[in-house]
Amino acid sequence: MASDDKPHAERFPFGIVGAGLGVVTRQLPPDEPPPLAPNADLAVIGRPVPRQNGRAKVTGATRFTVDISLPGMLHGRILRSPLAHAEIHGIDVTAAARHPGTRAVLVVARPDELTGATLRYVGAPVAAVAAVSMVAAAEALRLIRVDYQSLPFVADMDEARNATAPPVFDAASAPAGYASGFPARLNLPLDGNVRGPATDGRGDTAEGFAEADLVVEGEYRTQVQTHCCLEPHAIVADWRADGLTVYMSTQFTAGVRHELAEAFGLPLDRVRVIVDGMGGGFGSKSTLGSYGRIAVALSRQAQAPVRLVLDRQEEQMDSGNRPATWQRLRIGAKRDGSLTAISLVSYGTAGVALGAGVGNVAQALYACPNFAAAQYDVFTNASPGCAMRAPGNAPGAFGLEQAIDELAERLQLDPLTLRDHIDPSPVRREERRIGAERIGWRRRHAPGADPGPIKRGMGVAQSLWGANVQTNSACEVRVMRDGSVEVLSSVQDIGTGIGTVLAQTVAEVLGLHSEAITVRIGDTEFPAGPPSYGSRTTASITPPARAAAWRVLRPLFREAALALNAAAEDMAVRDGRILVRGDSGRSIDFRDAAARLRTDRISAVASRSDDYGGFRWRMADAAQARQDLGGVQFAAVAVDTETGVIRVERVVAVQDCGRPMNPLLIESQVQGGVLMGLSYALFEERILDRHTGRMVNPNLEQYKLAGACDTPAIDVVVLENYQANSATDAYGIAEPANIATAPAIANAVYNAIGLRLRALPMTPAAVLAALGKFPARS
Amino acid sequence: MNRFTWATARTIAEAAAAASTIVADAMTALPETAGPGDGTIVKAGGIDILDLLKENLLVPARVASLRDIPDLDAIVEEADSGCRLGAMATLAGLAAHPLLRQRYPAVTDAAGESASPQIRNLATLGGNLLQRPRCWYFRAAEYRCLRKGGGNCFAIPGENQYHAIFGNRPCAIVHPSTVATALVALGATVDLIDAEGAVRRLSLEDFFLPPERDLQRENDLRPHEILTAINLPPLPTSARMVHLRQGEKDAFDWPLADVAVLLDLSPEGICRSASIVLGAAAPVPHRAKPAENALLGKHIDESTAGAAARAALAGATPLAKNAYKTPLFEALIRRALLKAAAPIVKERG
Ligand SMILES: Cc1cc2nc3c(=O)[nH]c(=O)nc-3n(C[C@H](O)[C@H](O)[C@H](O)COP(=O)(O)OP(=O)(O)OC[C@H]3O[C@@H](n4cnc5c(N)ncnc54)[C@H](O)[C@@H]3O)c2cc1C
Ligand code: SF4
């Protein structure tokens, strides 16, 4: 066995299982566990282990933040702007403060502060109270008198682009950085309400288009989608003389702890953030947020714990959203399909925030020597957007993948054949092969070929997402003297089942069952874990979990070797026993080995090592692997050409996430991604009243989410793709699974009716309009 | 939601005595003066009442529950072979009733396709017919529109994709009840009883009030009246009926359009009478008279059904964002007629 305190070469499994699995030799950094075999040779990793907290969730035993109740706890509530654009000339909170139930009152938009006095969207926080009950808090809020002066506003992106549109910001107050999305750039020029362009390019597109035999061109629109977390944004803030404890439904406990320390001038060791059960985040619970800051300030003022929970209307109106976009794509190609140029211009609006670009699919999905993109953000008087499951690439793929579909048709090529020619990714090539077979692509007919009013069609679309890593992710593994094992990290389970995956990882190393591992996560008392956004949780936290487990195993091996009169290097684990490799007759129970320890426990903390193959880039604690995560989805639809109703009958999703750690959990995430993509494609839309800028459907009744009856058969296939990059070689799946669904459905609709729907959502009204069934009106 | 007191009515008379305030009247008070007065409203399943309470659109002093009145949920066959549906029968109860399913399938289909299973288990027939409209401006406290006693309609110049295409001035709500579409097509009547036990019976069609008759109330329910039953008339055995609904989603959603047809065909398949009613089309269930007339004396086939559907929509006055409803209704009417006539068509073919 090689010594592990120095870097040394090791042979790793490499490539796609079933499509050329090979071996690669890489330098293994010091103190890293040896290469992990492919899943077929493992006992716990790669098995469909049911999530550990599944039973608690379905029986209602899980404690969500809204279930936290502390002695003396108060209830917070936020007063929000009724106007889309207004200046506050005065706020009178005396009556609210005098309400018998009131314990704290906070003015959020202070008239005497230059930046806080202007409200720029309906729902912007104005003031807040903490009171002894939710009813008292609501009553007290109604007693606050605000002197608003209404200002002209613009809520529509196209109108906001006009030079004559009311300015949402002036140059001094406009945000300069990015809120989310791609491409992320700082300090771009501002012209009226338009910030940008963020440009990207290579080669010379003018030359590229000149060389093209054929050019397709199209404009695509996507709507604002809201996150619709089943569990609302919620926080319980408990400010005490000796420190602050915050219970919060958050995607990043460690990050919120940092934000709190900074915002309230506290040392890190006086701030603790805890989350147990979580009902989704999808990007909207990534930071402390204004509601979080308000709850803590109220708790500090009242000297009592404060619970603040957004109601569904607040969720819909001000908890983030996926920005709306408009994009124009031009693609030039040779007769054989080779791409000669791609140009992209996009405008998007994240309301008063930035980050409404359409990502990097046009730039990176296909081989094309000449590329130019100019992406703009447009400010509107609407609530701030934020990251939402595959920001940028989800709307971007809706445009690009339809344009590629159109190109294939114009070239008289099968869409898969064209992609085989222009897509350099071996991963997606394999995924196309598998998916085409599953959906029965050979049965696909010419567009609009079905007789009768109901027309069926099949479509395909592809995705690309960066394989993200948070390098400062740490995990601790403890073995107690009785042989019990704990894994600890501040990493949070936002619903994906990461706790179960950690238990599997540790159990694999120690030769135990995953149920034998106690998982303690979601608490900043433990080593800081990664955020659960950017699909980086599994990629960041499972390698240190394996490394930490491997490090605690070494002293146990020494004890076992002494007991068995063997050498520590010859020890191995299996089924709860430590044994001499090649001589299974000589073994000791894992617990008996632990009982020989001199301390009550042994423990090791490990952090994420760099990818063994190096990163593509690194910025502070975030990094990206060299290879992207590819996905291909196929959809089969039925379109009723008389009612305009689209029904998705089947989706085949073939995805890559490196090493699949737990196929059961991955499958449920992919199903969630497909469902969210379907809902984006057909139903969801934030609708703002054009005359007041207020959302008219701020609920889950008129804001339409796909439900059980709208769910197609979803066939999930996950590749096993080894890249020799970390102790587990695992990457994310959440966002990749959400990108290709909408364009796959749109392409299937085209195949069904021979008409291209270039705007989302594809409602019956949109289909009937495309079919020319009623006279167009402005 | 405000604090209110709770009462449980044990008899219809008790309920009628308590029911001092019509929900529509309670909702037209000025926002500044809105507050629990001294009125009592009645609650059946509570689905609609709870929504209004939560949005602070309704601030009652007292709520009287109808759920403990015995037998108000009964579904009984009458001597004349008509049927009497108790006001407290749930939508789920209606949808699952074997006699209704056999004799009045349009009613069971309409009830069974409304809302979602959870809602249908609680929602009552009476409450469904008397629920307030879903116009999203009406449902937001921020907009004091015509129907709430204000001066403007916000939907007509605003976001109106789910609004009415008939009779849509000066208010463009669509009537929210799906069952009502079927019941009006069948010529149902409604029984209203006051505290003295006097019964007022009128046709359901006349019970609903379009904006030109009353801008703030969708029906003619009066204070101290309880809706006790809906009466379905006996029908000739030759009668055929169909209800079709089309929503964006298949559950937990409102119809974009729904259609009920009742046909009486001669043994030769000639239309002797037709009743065609459109739901989600107008502020009241919309009787498509031109379509009914177009069918009289005709065989029902693709061509006559299509012509009737076009006739039904000829008078539509869509708004900026709901013109798609015209072809949608045409398709549903045509399909409903062909489905209703189907067995006869087969016999002839
Ligand atoms: C998401 C969603 C989707 C829906 N989809 C549909 C749909 O597709 N189709 C549809 O038709 N409906 C739909 N609904 C509405 C639902 O069916 C109604 O809210 C429900 O039927 C109301 O019945 P209830 O018994 O709960 O009435 P309640 O809320 O108890 O009462 C409603 C009104 O009637 C009055 N009232 C009730 N009973 C009597 C009586 N016997 N005498 C006098 N006054 C009375 C009450 O005072 C109140 O004003 C939907 C609702 C939701 C939330
Ligand atoms: S349609 Fe009727 S209910 Fe809706 S805003 Fe207009 S007046 Fe009010």
Give A222-252 pLDDT, tens digit per residue. 999 999 999 999 999 999 999 999 999 999 9
**Residue ID of nearest Cα to ligand 2 atom 3:** B138
Domains in chain B (CATH in brackets) are: 5-67 (3.30.43), 239-348 (3.30.390.50)
Which helix (H) or strand (E) segment is A626 a member of?
A: strand A622-640
What would the two tokens of residue B154 be? 């916000």
Residue nearest to atom 8 of ligand 2 (CA): B145
- Please tell me the predicted confidence (pLDDT) of residue A59: 96
Is the predicted pLDDT of residue B44 greater than 90, yes or no? yes
User: Looking at the structure, do residues A350 and A491 belong to the same domain, yes or no?
Assistant: no
Question: What tens digit of pLDDT does each residue of A281-312 get?
Answer: 999 999 999 999 999 999 999 999 999 999 99
pLDDT digits (tens, 9 = 90+) for A249-287: 999 999 999 999 999 999 999 999 999 999 999 999 999
Residue A342 lies in a domain: yes
Quick one: A505 and A558 in the same domain?
Answer: yes
Regarding whether A599 and A510 lie in a shared domain, the answer is yes
Q: How far from A604 is each of A512, A521, B160, B167, CA to CA, in Å?
A: 18, 16, 62, 74
The atom number, within ligand 1, closest to the CA of B226 reads 42
Rounded CA-CA distance A584/A295 in Å is: 59
Amino acid letter, residue A207:
E
Q: Tens digit of pLDDT for each residue in A610-669?
A: 999 999 999 999 999 999 999 999 999 999 999 999 999 999 999 999 999 999 999 999
Compute the average pLDDT of residues A474-500. Answer: 97
Regarding the beta carbon of B341 and ligand 2, being less than 6 Å apart is answered: no
Which residues, at least 6 apart from A705, have a Cβ–Cβ distance to it below 8 Å?
Answer: A228, A679, A683, A684
Q: Chain B residues with CB inside 8 Å of A764's CB?
A: 246, 248, 256, 324, 328
- pLDDT average, residue stretch B48-56: 94
CB atoms within 10 A of CB A490: 29
Nearest neighbour of A775 by CB, restricted to B140, B323, B331:
B323
Domain enclosing residue A521, as ranges: 472-609
What is the ipTM for the molecules in this complex?
Answer: 0.96
The pLDDT of residue A532:
97
The pLDDT of residue A499 is above 50: yes
Candidate from A687, A691, A694 with C-beta closest to B157 = A691
Q: What are the pLDDT digits (tens) for B199-208? A: 999 999 999 9
Over range A384-389, report the average pLDDT.
Answer: 96
Using the predicted structure, report yes or no on whether residue B345 has a pLDDT greater than 60.
no
Q: Which of A274, A309, A344 is where one domain is finished?
A: A309
- Interval B206-251: pLDDT, tens: 999 999 999 999 999 999 999 999 999 999 989 999 999 999 998 8
Q: Which residues pair with A128 in a beta bridge?
A: A78, A106
Residue A199 scores a pLDDT above 90: yes
Going along chain B, which residue ranges are E strands? 5-8, 40-43, 62-65, 75-77, 83-86, 189-194, 199-203, 225-232, 239-247, 255-265, 271-279, 286-287
What is the predicted pLDDT for the residue at B200? 98
Report percent pLDDT > 90 for chain B. 92
pLDDT above 90 for A178: no
pLDDT of residue A761 exceeding 90: yes
Average pLDDT value for residue range A94-114: 89
Pick from B50, B160, B253, B321 the residue to mutate for testing the A interface (most A CBs within 10 Å).
B253
Quick check: is A92 in a domain? no
Domain membership of residue A13 (yes or no) is no
| pLDDT higher at B285 or A585 | B285
Q: Closest ligand to A691 CA? A: 2
- Per DSSP, helices labelled H in A482-612 are 498-510, 537-564, 590-595
> Domain check: are A568 and A637 in the same one?
no
> DSSP per residue over B272-322, as a string?
EEEEEEEESSSSSPEE-HHHHHHHTT-B-SHHHHHHHHHHHHTT----TT-
pLDDT at B3: 85
Checking if the pLDDT of B116 tops 60, the result is yes
Query: What pLDDT is stored for residue B348 in this prediction?
Result: 43
| Domain match, A196 and A339 both | yes
Q: What is the average per-residue pLDDT within A344-348?
A: 97
Determine how β-strand B199-203 pairs with β-strand B189-194. Answer: antiparallel
Cα distance between residue B262 and residue B260, in whole Å: 7
Q: Is the same domain home to A356 and A396?
A: yes
| β-strands B271-279, B286-287 pairing | antiparallel
Torsional sign, CA A588, A594, A596, A597: positive
Question: Under 8 Å CB-to-CB from A1, ≥6 apart: which residues?
Answer: A569
Sort out which chain A residues have CB atoms less than 8 A from B253's CB and list them.
704
Contacts of A287 (CB under 8 A, 6+ apart): A252, A255, A256, A259
pTM of the model: 0.97
- The answer to whether residue A139 is domain-embedded is no
Distance from C-alpha of B253 to C-alpha of A703, rounded to nearest angstrom: 10
Same domain? For A710 and A661 the reply is yes
Residue-by-residue DSSP string for A321-375: EEPEEEEEEEEEE-TTS-EEEEEEEEEEEBTTB-----TTHHHHSS--S-EEEEE
DSSP label at A40? G
pLDDT at B86: 98
Residues A483 and A567 in one domain: yes
pLDDT for the residue numbered B346: 46
Across chain A, what does the average pLDDT equal? 96
CATH of the domain at A192: 3.30.365.10
pLDDT given for residue A778 in this prediction? 44
CA angle at A653 for the pair A647 and A657, rounded to the nearest 5°: 150
Both A639 and A718 in a single domain? yes
Q: Which atom of ligand 2 is nearest to the CA of B133?
A: 3
Q: Which residue has tokens 């291909």?
A: A632
Contacts of B323 in chain A (CB under 8 A): 774-775, 777
Q: Are residues A665 and A760 in the same domain?
A: yes
Ligand 1 centre to CA of B176 (Å) is 9
Q: How many domains, chain A? A: 4
Q: Please list the helix, strand and coil fractions of chain B in percent, rounded to the nearest 5, in that order.
A: 30, 20, 45
Q: Is residue A476 part of a domain?
A: yes
Mean pLDDT of B39-50: 97
Taking residues A333-361, report their average pLDDT.
97
Q: Show which of A369, A387, A402 is a domain's final residue.
A: A402
pLDDT of residue B349: 38
Q: Is residue A55 part of a domain?
A: no
Helix (H, G, I), strand (E, B) or coil at A648: strand
Contacts A692 to B, Cβ<8 Å: 142-143, 154
Query: CA of A723: how far to CAs of A34, A44, A545, A608, A662, in Å?
Result: 15, 20, 19, 16, 18
What residues pair up with A655 in beta bridges, in sequence order?
A631, A718
Residues in chain A: 778
Question: Residue A610 gets which letter from DSSP?
Answer: P
Q: Is the pLDDT assigned to residue B29 strictly greater than 90? A: no
Q: String of b and e for A105-122 (b: at least 16 CB within 10 Å)?
A: bbbbbeeeeeeebbbbbb
Dihedral (CA of A382, A385, A390, A391) sign:
positive
C-alpha A547, offset from chain centre: 26
Q: What is the pLDDT of residue A117?
A: 86
What is the share, in percent, of chain A residues with pLDDT greater than 70? 98
Query: A710 lies in a domain?
Result: yes
The answer to whether B159 contacts chain A (CB < 8 Å) is yes
- If pLDDT is split at 50, 70 and 90, which confidence band does B347 have? very low
Report helix, strand or coil for A604. Answer: strand
Confidence of residue A177 (pLDDT cuts 50, 70, 90): confident
Residue contacts between A and B (CB atoms, under 8 Å): 87
Domain boundary among A309, A338, A353: A309
For ligand 1, the distance from its centroid to the CA atom of residue A398, given in whole angstroms, is: 40
At A115 the pLDDT is 54
Give the per-residue pLDDT at B1: 79
Are A284 and A268 contained in the same domain? yes
Output DSSP code: residue A477. Answer: E
B329 lies within 8 A of chain A by CB: no
Q: pLDDT over 90 for what percent of chain A?
A: 95
A649 plus A712 within the same structural domain: yes
**C-alpha span between B172 and B134 (Å, rounded):** 11
Give domain status of residue A121, yes or no: no
CA–CA dist B59, B50 (Å, integer):
11
Calculate ∠ Cα A714-A717-A718, nearest 5°.
135
CA distance linking residue A778 with residue A372, whole number of Å: 33
pLDDT at A112 over 70: no
- Provide, for chain A, the percentages of residues in helix, strand and coil under a 3-state DSSP scheme, each rounded to the nearest 5: 30, 30, 40
